[in-house]
Amino acid sequence: MSDSRLAAVVAKPDAEAAIASLQTEGVYDDTRRVEAHDADTVALPVTARPSETAVRDVVESDLPRRERGLHDILRSKGWEEDDLDAVPASWAVVGSVVLVDVAGCPNPESVGEALLALHGEADTVLAREGIAGKTREPEVEVLAGEGDTETVHTEHGTRYAMDLAEVMFSPGNEAERAGMADRVEAGERVFDMFAGIGYFTLPMARAGAEVLAAELRPTAYRYLVENAVLNGVQERVEAYRADCADVAVEEPVDRVVMGHYEAHERLDSAVAALRPGGVLHLHEATPTAELWDRPVGRVEAAAERAGRSVEVLDRRVVKGYSAGVEHVVVDARVP
């Protein structure tokens, strides 16, 4: 059997994790496309039989060569160069869903179909149209495919089940989510004040931390509980459907995570929950002109109100939030 015609067959929900594993193993063939194998499985192109990645079967399959990119697909469909200038330059694959911003793009449905052709592991393309209100509810529209907005996304071994029409998921925060697993130690007690579907709770719990997780929104809370079970960490996650300020932290914790842009409004509760010498991680959307005075100043002021001090351990920009505004994190020890 020619290596150039091999394909590994996996269940469709496992495709994203399998591709990442095959890439790590060094046998994924990114010159050919992923395509459906049958109603429930997909064929992933490989250069050799995988020895470390769990697959259902390895078959001979003439998977077509991958076209060079979105522009090439649209150009082959007759798009003019002027229209191609308005085509999005980036998008994100989250499980079986492609998320894309098509604002100002002509014929977005055609772009959606082209993205499905480009990503055979996906079955739905959603247009991102913004985030509504303090609860950060996503506004999306189905552009192409089956229209199934519920999916399971895998990052660094952590599995996130979610409905992208109901809960927010930011692919640009991947490094920060994964990084929390490296920052905690096994046995640490952590208070995740804005847990969502488990963005930070899950990687920390998988690293051995005991996490008290608060989430007010019913849908996000449901996924938080389901995801703890999905990742086998339900014994290390104590989930509350409540405003984090109303959660009674009976024993001071080693670490507090505040992963919401309005988290500074709960800084007093966060400092009160921390043991002496505990660490606080404050996320904020900060105007570039106010880096780093505003986020650091807010942590210092909260500590001062509690009669405590602050040692800034790290401060970093996660990603751009909007024009002139950055998503930042301040890590601080509070003696």
Is 150 marked within a binding site? Answer: no
Q: How many CA atoms lie within 13 A of 22 on its CB side?
A: 27
Is 238 marked within a binding site? Answer: no
> What is the per-residue DSSP string for 42-78?
EEEEBSS--SSS--SEEEE--PPBPPS-HHHHHHHTT
Q: What distance in Å separates the CA atoms of residue 316 and residue 199, rounded to the nearest whole number?
A: 18
| Beta-strand pair 210-214/237-240 | parallel
Cβ neighbours around 322 below 10 Å, total: 9
Burial of 268 (0-12, 13-18, 19+ CB in 10 A): middle
Is 170 marked within a binding site? Answer: yes
**Which pair of structure tokens corresponds to residue 286?**
């900060």
Name, in order, each residue with C-beta under 8 angstroms of 291's C-beta and a sequence gap of 6 or more: 317, 326, 328
- The radius of gyration of the chain from alpha carbons, rounded to an integer in Å, stands at 22
Q: What distance in Å separates the CA atoms of residue 140 and residue 137, rounded to the nearest whole number?
A: 10
Which residues belong to the annotated binding site?
170, 177, 215
Which residues belong to the annotated binding site for S-adenosyl-L-methionine?
170, 177, 215
